[in-house]
Amino acid sequence: MIVAIDGPSGTGKSSTSKAVAAQLGLSYLDTGAQYRAITWWMLSNGVDVADQEAIAAAADKPSIVSGTDPRQPAISADGLDASGPIRTQEVTAAVSAVSAVPEVRARITELQRMIAAEAGGGIVVEGRDIGTTVLPGADLKVFLTASPEARAARRSGELKTTAGRPVTDLAATQQALTARDKADSSRKTSPLKKADDAVEVDTTELTLEQVIECVVTLVEKAA
């Protein structure tokens, strides 16, 4: 059972994917964390993230290792735990540019397909291009959406809990999210896009529990 969950940020993708995987005993892969980890490695190793050629030349260098336990999704770059650093503003601001480079996408896509192929009992893979490009033969494809206001409110709630400080500027959060979605949706290689055969779930008016229940039902139907 391969489940692809795509959509822009702030739609509850990660929380939903982890919970669905844990509830159904499936593995879990956060592909955004992989793009964030390679971005963090580049920033930490002096790669100019404004220079596409430099990014392309470095794409194969770091080893990126993802854990697939939904209760403890680990991520490392060259053996260093990246789970904290990949959530910083610096990485968030640079990740769309790094992930738009075709060499980076080819490298990470290959890794994702390998992980999915090795997940014996099935896997939930979340990202932007899983249903369209990485795993077009997935047994179930879900595309999560939500209004820009709801997404910004959720994201600023998350920032508050992860960084331990209040994020009062909702407008700035919404602007940053919109800019990242625009970059992700308009890039040439493998943009953020709903697959034709994906089930779209608008989460604006739903609680996280309702979204989880909805996706679990869809997986059970697809099994």
Q: What is the DSSP string of 58-76?
A: HTTSS-EEE---TTS--EE
Number of residues engaging ligand C5P in binding (CB under 6 A): 14
In this structure, what are the phi and psi dihedrals at residue 221, rounded to the nearest 5 degrees?
A: -70, -35
Least spacing, CB of residue 95 vs ligand C5P, in Å = 4
Which is closer to ligand C5P, CB of 102 or CB of 122?
Answer: 102
Using the rule CB under 6 A, which residue among 18, 128, 141, 154 binds ligand C5P? 128
Q: Is 85 left (phi over 0), alpha (psi -120 to 50) or beta?
A: alpha
Amino acid identity of residue 189, one-letter, is: T
Residues 64-83 that bind ligand C5P (CB under 6 A): none
Please report, in angstroms and rounded to a whole number, the separation of the first and last CA atoms in the chain. Answer: 7
Query: Is 12 annotated as contributing to ligand binding?
Result: yes
Residue 52 and residue 104 in contact, taking contact as beta carbons nearer than 8 Å: no
Q: Per rule CB under 6 A, is residue 180 in the interface with ligand C5P?
A: yes
- Tokens 């990740």, residue? 95
Q: Is 76 annotated as a binding residue?
A: no
Q: Which of 32, 67, 70, 73 binds ligand C5P (CB under 6 A)?
A: 32
> By CB under 6 A, is residue 184 in contact with ligand C5P?
yes
Binding site residues, ligand C5P, CB under 6 A: 9, 31-32, 35-36, 95-96, 99, 127-130, 180, 184
